[in-house]
Amino acid sequence: MTAPHVLIVEAPYYAGIAAGMLRGATRVLDEAGATHEVVQVAGAFELPGAVRLALKAMARTGGPRWDGFIALGCVVRGETDHYEHICTQAARGIMDLTVQFGVPVAFGVLTVHDEAQAEARARDDDMNKGAEAAKAVLAQVALARRWGV
């Protein structure tokens, strides 16, 4: 069986945090023998749309190019209700893709109160949420392969 090929869609609005989560995700994928590509979008709100564009591109080419997807980003609470809208819609969009298209998509979007909380979840340690997202997508890819979908 071929190694999984994963598309990581990264929203580097908080560049240092995104970079830490990306390091965690790629470390896990590399350790598992998976290959990956990385694309960037403006922010967390654009993550589901980019995954959908990738799915459309795969459909046009007639075959799977990516076995799974990881959405990485960070939304920090501010003084307005913008935070709630972005968090809700990014999560809903990713879940809709997962359910509607039956593809493994890991939600690696931090939704935090301040940058210190985000930094704690982007360090190169066992709490890295990018690494957790990579583990989740690999598990979903394995399940899809087991069931032949």
123: β partners: none
106: β partners: 70
For residues 105 and 98, what is the distance between their CA atoms, to the nearest angstrom? 6
Q: What does the block give as tokens for 52?
A: 């959908």
AA letter at 138: L
For residues 80 and 124, what is the distance between their CA atoms, to the nearest angstrom? 31
For residues 52 and 145, what is the distance between their CA atoms, to the nearest angstrom? 21
36: β partners: 6
For residues 42 and 77, what is the distance between their CA atoms, to the nearest angstrom? 17
Alpha helices in 64-109 (DSSP H): 82-101
Q: Which of 5, 82, 85, 113 is catalytic?
A: 82
Instruction: Respond yes or no: is residue 82 known to be catalytic.
Output: yes
Q: Enumerate the active-site residues.
A: 82
